[in-house]
């Protein structure tokens, strides 16, 4: 089946219109370039590192206090949850909000089990730092050969 060029032009024009409508729903905030089809999430952006016998997690949680956060660990399963509350005073009228509000939860399956009795958590400058020592059974052991 052959298609005329005008049919392809009409299809591309319709797709372009759809793209503009969808992009208008999200606004331009935080968009470096190109398409952005996902909804913004209140969940913190997170980095996971491994250093020797520890895992380290750094999660961006600007504006939150330690009372607003919950960290749970079981074996190699980690969950970070919390709630962002609106900072707008009651008598103010809101015209635009770009900062996420509401509860969030992030969960991770770590590469190895963690000793939950030795976990260290600190909150500094809007970043949650977690130091997660590997469980003794997960640490590599050197075997001597007789």
User: Can you give the pLDDT at residue 39?
Assistant: 43
pLDDT above 70 for 96? yes
What fold does the segment set 46-86+101-138 form as a domain? Immunoglobulin-like (2.60.40)
Q: Could you read off the pLDDT of 103-128 as tens digits, one per residue?
A: 888 888 999 999 989 999 999 999 99
d(CA 61, CA 100): 11
What is the b/e burial string over 8-29, where b = at least 16 CB atoms within 10 angstroms of the residue's CB? Answer: eeeeeeeeeeeeeeeeeeeeee
Q: What per-residue confidence (pLDDT) applies to 42?
A: 67
pLDDT value for 46: 93
Domain ranges of the chain: 46-86+101-138
Residue 35 has a pLDDT of 44
pLDDT tens for 72-91 read 999 889 999 998 887 788 88
Rounded mean pLDDT of the chain?
A: 81
Handedness of CA 22, 23, 26, 30 (dihedral sign): positive
């Amino acid at each position: 089946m052959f298609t005329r060029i005008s049919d392809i032009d009409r299809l591309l024009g319709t797709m372009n219109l759809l793209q503009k409508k969808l992009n208008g729903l999200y606004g331009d905030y935080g968009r470096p370039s190109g398409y952005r089809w996902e909804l913004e999430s209140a969940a913190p952006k997170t980095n996971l590192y491994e250093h020797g016998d520890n895992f380290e997690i750094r999660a961006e949680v600007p504006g939150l206090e330690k009372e607003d956060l919950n960290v749970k660990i079981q074996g190699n399963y980690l969950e970070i949850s919390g709630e962002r509350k609106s900072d707008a005073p009651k008598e103010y009228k809101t015209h635009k909000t770009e900062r996420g509000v509401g509860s969030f939860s992030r969960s991770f399956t770590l590469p190895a089990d963690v000793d939950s009795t030795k976990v260290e958590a600190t909150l500094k400058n809007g970043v949650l730092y977690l130091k997660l020592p590997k469980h003794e059974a997960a640490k590599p052991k050197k075997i001597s050969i007789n």
